[in-house]
């Protein structure tokens, strides 16, 4: 219930976000009509359409995104036609007869008639919903991530509908207020015709802005700056009690029974393990994936616990739940397990069966299970390692092993696995593919699924990034089509990582990075030298920058000297 309330409140906050601006002209264009017959069906159509499209986008993959692109074009045509009818009453009169024959009442709504058409308003709401691209702030991001990872469910659709209902609520209040304002202006000025024509101009201007991509580009970036902090505070309020329950010093509660592990598609370092076979053991289940920087930073601690307490009754199971498609390749996972020195059993969860059984939403996530097969605590994200180890020792003591009361294991990681720099990290994880990213600083819109030449522009705003050269931007990544392709990012963090791979199996792509236009020198990362040179030879996370001195706003750039690289996501530490 808390998550439904959170989703609803996130939708309500949309009204203060600039990304709602392209929708407002279509809403206010009907502010002078009876709300029940005009405004209400428009909001219903908009909310239901958005919830449906967002659900499919979260679950269905790239084909849904492409299909909605055609839907946006159709919606632009409908709304542009609506704007023309508002702007030119003579045109509305001329098209009245054929529209009536088709069952449409657009001209009646746009002309002089006071009768409002429920069906017409619903149609306009559907069209507006197809154009509505709310900013993916923390709340909507939480809902969409759950939709993408947990699979199709009524709960997913209801959460998205709650978000849309929240936005519709705030728009309803604005619509009612706007209706009163328009009515007052009509009474005082007698300017009905000019108001209608003015609204027509605004509607057409909104159509042009949306067609140019302003709704998903500049306005979205402005929205992230204006509402993300408020949304994140709501998310933290909901998540806070969960984390507090994990770290509580009192009796560890029983959170449920450990689910089965039978959904794994493969096992590494061990034959398949079952819930029944693990009875009598304390179990730590660690959800991770090998390109996740937060997971990589927690792995040294998990490995240390496995080695230290393995002889005292602890079984550590790593559940490798892939985020990107290349992480589903068993050879890639096996190689990563070897290279990272993971010795405990790893369940390969390519179908998210174990992920869904635990109702998990996070990388990394640790679940602590007692000798009776009951989940007694959990921890989401990296950090709090001392408290997690105390929970392990406590469960071992409950299970009859009193030797687990020694000193805590210290296992800080090195290289990529070193702890993050805390408050100095001001740059977020950033995806290159258009499914969750593509807010580039390049002029114009990102061209999807086909090669396009991008011009690398100077970056002045923190956390802006841009492409240069010929790239094909796809749903999860971008592929460089020619040598000389570049990416630049204005960031603030000690470490900069980039998840990279090659389009051809076994290929090697050379690159060179710069920091503020110069070789990185002592600020080079584990995968570059002081001159900035390195090579991509497999799909994984590459550490490209680790600043040795003070952390400040810096401009990173990478140039690929060979074609065929695939760029997935930036992460920082």
Domain boundaries along the sequence of the chain: 2-234, 247-417, 423-572
Under a CB-based contact definition with an 8 Å cutoff, are residues 92 and 111 in contact? yes
Q: Does residue 222 surpass a pLDDT of 50? A: no
| C-alpha gyration radius of the chain | 27
Burial 191-218 (b: 16+ CB within 10 A, else e): eeeebbeebbebbbebbebbeeebbbbe
Lowest mean pLDDT among 144-148, 490-494, 543-547: 144-148
What CA–CA distance (Å, rounded) separates 47 from 25?
16
Tell me the CATH number of domain 423-572, given options 3.30.70.20, 2.40.40.20, 3.40.50.300, 2.60.120.260.
2.60.120.260
Residues 257-281: pLDDT tens digits?
999 998 899 999 999 999 999 999 9
563 SS3 class: coil
Residue 112 confidence (pLDDT): 43
If you write DSSP's letter for every residue of 52-106 in order, what string do you get?
A: HHHHHHHHH-HHHHHHHHHHHHHHHHHHHHHHHHHH-HHHHHHTHHHHHHTT--H
Say which CATH class 247-417 falls into. Answer: alpha beta
Q: What is the mean pLDDT of the chain?
A: 75
Residue 448 DSSP one-character state: B
Question: What is the pLDDT confidence band of residue 170, given thresholds at 50, 70 and 90?
Answer: confident
Secondary structure percentages of the chain, helix, strand, coil, to 5: 50, 20, 35
Q: Lowest mean pLDDT of 125-129, 177-181, 232-236, 335-339, name the range.
A: 232-236
Phi-psi region of 101 (alpha: psi -120 to 50; beta: other; left: phi over 0): alpha
- What confidence score (pLDDT) does residue 515 get? 96
Residue 569, pLDDT > 90, answer yes
Angle, vertex CA 275, rays to CA 269 and CA 279, nearest 5: 100
| pLDDT over 60 at 247, yes or no | no
pLDDT for 21 beyond 60: no
| pLDDT score for 369 | 96
Rounded distance between C-alpha atoms, residue 502 and residue 477, angstroms: 11
| Angstrom distances, CA of residue 111 to CA of 108, 295, 514 | 5, 60, 61
Burial of 134 (0-12, 13-18, 19+ CB in 10 A): buried
Q: How far apart are CA 162 and CA 142, in angstroms?
A: 13
Least trusted range by pLDDT, from 24-33, 455-464, 505-514, 521-530:
24-33
């Amino acid at each position: 219930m808390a998550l439904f309330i959170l989703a609803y409140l996130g939708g309500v906050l949309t009204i203060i976000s600039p990304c709602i601006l392209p929708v407002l002209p279509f809403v206010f264009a009907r502010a002078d009509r009876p709300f029940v017959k005009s405004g209400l069906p428009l909001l219903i159509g908009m909310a239901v359409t958005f919830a449906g499209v967002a659900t499919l986008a979260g679950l269905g993959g790239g084909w849904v995104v492409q299909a909605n692109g055609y839907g946006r074009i159709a919606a632009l045509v409908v709304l542009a036609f609506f704007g023309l009818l508002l702007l030119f009453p003579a045109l509305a009169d001329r098209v009245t007869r054929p529209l009536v024959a088709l069952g449409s009442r657009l001209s009646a709504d746009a002309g002089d008639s006071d009768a409002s058409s429920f069906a017409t308003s619903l149609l306009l709401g559907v069209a507006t919903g197809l154009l509505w691209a709310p900013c993916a702030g923390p709340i909507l991001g939480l809902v969409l991530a759950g939709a993408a990872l947990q699979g199709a469910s009524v709960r997913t659709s209801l959460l998205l509908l709650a978000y849309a209902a929240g936005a519709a609520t705030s728009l309803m209040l604005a619509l009612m207020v706007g209706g009163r304002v328009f009515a007052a202006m009509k009474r005082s000025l007698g300017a009905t015709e000019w108001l209608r024509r003015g609204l027509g101009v605004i509607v057409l201007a909104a159509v042009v802005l949306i067609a140019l991509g302003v709704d998903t580009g500049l306005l979205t970036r402005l929205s992230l700056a204006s509402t993300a902090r408020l949304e994140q505070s709501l998310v933290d309020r909901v998540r806070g009690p969960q984390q507090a329950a994990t770290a509580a010093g009192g009796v560890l509660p029983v959170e449920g029974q450990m689910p089965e592990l039978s959904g794994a598609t493969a096992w590494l370092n061990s034959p398949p393990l079952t819930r029944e076979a693990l009875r009598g053991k304390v179990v730590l289940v660690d959800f991770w994936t090998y390109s996740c920087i937060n997971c990589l930073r927690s792995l040294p601690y998990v490995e240390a616990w496995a080695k230290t307490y393995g002889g005292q009754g602890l079984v550590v199971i790593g559940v490798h739940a892939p985020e990107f498609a290349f992480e589903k390749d068993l050879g890639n996972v096996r190689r990563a397990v070897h290279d990272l020195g993971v010795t405990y059993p790893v369940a390969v969860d390519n179908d998210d069966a174990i992920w869904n059984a635990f109702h998990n939403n996070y990388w990394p996530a640790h679940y602590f299970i007692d000798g009776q097969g009951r989940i007694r605590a959990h921890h989401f994200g990296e950090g709090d390692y001392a408290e997690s180890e105390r929970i392990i020792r406590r469960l071992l003591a409950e299970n009859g092993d009193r030797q687990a009361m020694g000193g805590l294991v210290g296992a800080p990681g090195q290289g990529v696995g070193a702890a993050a720099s805390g408050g100095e990290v001001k740059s977020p994880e950033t995806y290159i593919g258009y499914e969750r990213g593509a807010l580039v600083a390049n002029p114009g819109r990102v061209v999807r699924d086909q090669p396009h030449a991008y011009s690398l522009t100077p970056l002045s705003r923190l956390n802006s990034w841009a492409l240069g050269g010929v790239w094909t931007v796809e749903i999860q990544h971008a592929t460089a089509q020619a040598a000389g392709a570049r990416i630049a990012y204005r960031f603030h963090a000690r470490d900069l990582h980039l998840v990279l791979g090659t389009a051809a199996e076994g290929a090697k792509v050379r690159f060179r990075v710069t920091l503020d236009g110069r070789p990185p020198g002592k600020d080079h990362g584990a995968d570059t030298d002081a001159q900035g040179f390195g090579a991509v030879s497999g799909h994984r996370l590459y550490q490209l920058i680790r600043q040795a001195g003070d952390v400040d706003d810096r401009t990173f750039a990478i140039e690929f000297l060979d074609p065929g690289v695939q760029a997935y996501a930036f992460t920082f530490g």
